[in-house]
Amino acid sequence: MTDLESTTDELSKSPATGFRAWEGFIFACLAGLGYSTANIFLRMVSDQDPAWVSCVKAIPTLVFVIPWLLLRYQKGHRTPPSRRLVLLMTAVSIVGHLAGNVVFQWSLGIIGLALAVPVTTGSMILASAVLGWWLLKEQVSNRTIVAILILLAAIVLLSFGSDEATESVLEDPDAAARSLKLATLSVLLVCGSGIGYALFGIVIRHCVQNGMSNPMVLFISSTIGFIVLLIATFISTDASVISNTSPEDLTYMLLAGVCNFQAFACLVVALRLLTVTSVNLLNSSQIAIAAIAGVVFFNEPITTPLVLGVMLTIAGVMTIGSARE
């Protein structure tokens, strides 16, 4: 879950047509499917330490991006980014991984996949609009304001069904007595996770627009993430969490990282071929996929607030996308 699409907004100013447009459509769908699959794998290890899961998830990106950087270096792209951008990217990577990835992973074990993904996505896009206006001095259109109101309504609506989701996810007979408080806390924290992702996306966009390449962004983010999350793992627990991780769970964590990197790569290609609105619309499919996967694969409850909240979140994503275009 990251607002990485903002790194390449400027690439879609001249959308393709014909066969190239269909190619963009396919890559946008693959991006949404990749993020959805990554979230499913993360839900499968939601009983593990969140910092450790997020740490392992960062490894595939680091492995894939190093050859990418070396290839660019061989092709003559050898100008290093400025120290200011590196320090800025380092700082926001710490915030993004701790306030974003760790909190999101924790929430999967409390409110489930069907609820965590739309709440995080809604709060992330909402915060992106506000932060873009505040930090980047971007104009806020009437359509953006409508989208913000839709997303706010979606988050409030989704929170109404959070206690039932918590009881189902925890599978604890004593959970009913504390599910409302725990669910409320989880929704608030996952909103904070969305804000962390939004700040991450804003800074990434700033760095890319000022000359930092996409692979360098990913290299700094994944390297800092791996180090910080490994330290956080030892602080929150002990070394036994590493040795006690089963090969099956470790595979799920790594596959989540592979899918996350694949989704980002597809998203970059899609944004070169389609408008931001089209990509946002297709990529928002991960919200619906998360809701369906949560219900089908993990027996998370279907509630009226969940169904309506997911629909409103998708509507908000579509509205904010067309406003940006």
Contact by Cβ (8 Å): 200, 208: no
pLDDT greater than 70 at residue 10: no
| pLDDT mean across residues, the chain | 84
Rounded to whole angstroms, what are the CA distances from 261 to 22, 91, 169, 225? Answer: 22, 21, 28, 14
Percent of the chain with pLDDT strictly greater than 70 = 86
Measured in whole angstroms, the distance separating CA 109 from the mean position of its chain's CA atoms is 16
| C-alpha to C-alpha distance for 199 and 204, rounded to whole angstroms | 9
Domain-embedded: residue 180? yes
Residue that is written with structure tokens 């925890």 in the block? 170
- SS3 at position 81: coil
Give the DSSP per-residue string, 182-219. HHHHHHHHHHHHHHHHHHHHHHHHHHHHTT--HHHHHH
Residue 7: the pLDDT is 44
**Hey, CA dihedral for 86, 90, 92, 93, is it positive or negative?**
positive
At 106-139, the pLDDT tens digits run 999 988 999 999 999 888 888 888 887 887 777 7
Residue 9: the pLDDT is 43
For 1, how many CA atoms within 13 A lie in the half-sphere containing its CB? 42
Domain-embedded: residue 210? yes
Lowest mean pLDDT among 119-123, 162-166, 210-214, 286-290: 162-166
> 155, exposed or middle or buried, with CB in 10 Å at 0-12, 13-18, 19+?
buried
What average pLDDT does this structure show over 10-35?
Answer: 72
Winning range, highest mean pLDDT, from 51-65, 181-195, 278-292: 51-65
Domain-embedded: residue 7? no
Tokens standing for 155?
Answer: 């988050």
pLDDT band at 256 (very low <50, low <70, confident <90, very high): very high
Contact by Cβ (8 Å): 144, 169: no
Residue scoring higher pLDDT (281 or 55):
55
At 91-102, the pLDDT tens digits run 999 999 999 999
Q: What is the 3-state secondary structure (H, E, C) of 280-314?
A: HHHHCHHHHHHHHHHHHHHCCCCCHHHHHHHHHHH
pLDDT band at 178 (very low <50, low <70, confident <90, very high): low
Domain-embedded: residue 8? no
Rounded to whole angstroms, what are the CA distances from 20 to 49, 270, 280, 285, 312? Answer: 43, 10, 18, 21, 31
Residue 17: the pLDDT is 55
Neighbours of 322 (CB within 10 A): 18
pLDDT greater than 70 at residue 192: yes
Lowest mean pLDDT among 6-20, 149-163, 225-239, 258-272: 6-20
| C-alpha to C-alpha distance for 7 and 231, rounded to whole angstroms | 28
For 273, how many CA atoms within 13 A lie in the half-sphere containing its CB? 18
Q: Which domain holds residue 289?
A: 16-324
Say how many domains are in the chain: 1
Domain-embedded: residue 11? no
pLDDT band at 11 (very low <50, low <70, confident <90, very high): very low
Domain-embedded: residue 1? no
Contact by Cβ (8 Å): 263, 60: no
For 146, how many CA atoms within 13 A lie in the half-sphere containing its CB? 11
